[in-house]
Amino acid sequence: VQAEVRGRDMLTGLPKTVILSSEEVRHALEDPVAQIIDAIKSTLDKTPPELAADIMDRGIVLAGGGALLQGLDQRLRQETHMPTHLAESPLTCVAVGSGRSLEEFEAIHRSASKARRNNHRPY
């Protein structure tokens, strides 16, 4: 599969059109995807056991535009040996969740403050 991509040539500053193959895109994304997977593994290594058990049971939910990368869920499942799911509305769920967090800011702040006073991490 090929796609025509338009943008600005970084050397000349002029508009340019190039044809990219799916293989070229896959190759360009390999390092960033590997970094994402490494970051997820590192985070899981630092996760408290009780939360890690929940993640093992429920799995990892992919959200945002990167969640739509074809095959990312399968690769993450293979690398982490955990269930991996695509969020219901991956492009908008981050904004919706952020909005809900703002609506509940006081409750979240109280919980985090209490956890800090008790010398615990809030999550």
Report residue 19: phi and psi, to 5°: -105, 125
pLDDT at 121: 56
12, part of any domain: yes
Instruction: Give me the number of domains the chain comprises.
Output: 1
108, part of any domain: no
77, part of any domain: yes
DSSP string, 12-50: T-SEEEEEEEHHHHHHHHHHHHHHHHHHHHHHHHHS-HH
pLDDT at 120: 58
Q: What CATH number does residue 17 fall under?
A: 3.30.420.40
List pLDDT tens digits, range 53-62: 999 999 999 9
List pLDDT tens digits, range 106-123: 887 888 787 777 765 555
Q: Domain span at residue 20? A: 2-91
Residue 34 has pLDDT above 80, yes or no: yes
- Cα separation of 76 and 55, whole Å? 13
Single pTM value for the model: 0.69
pLDDT at 102: 87
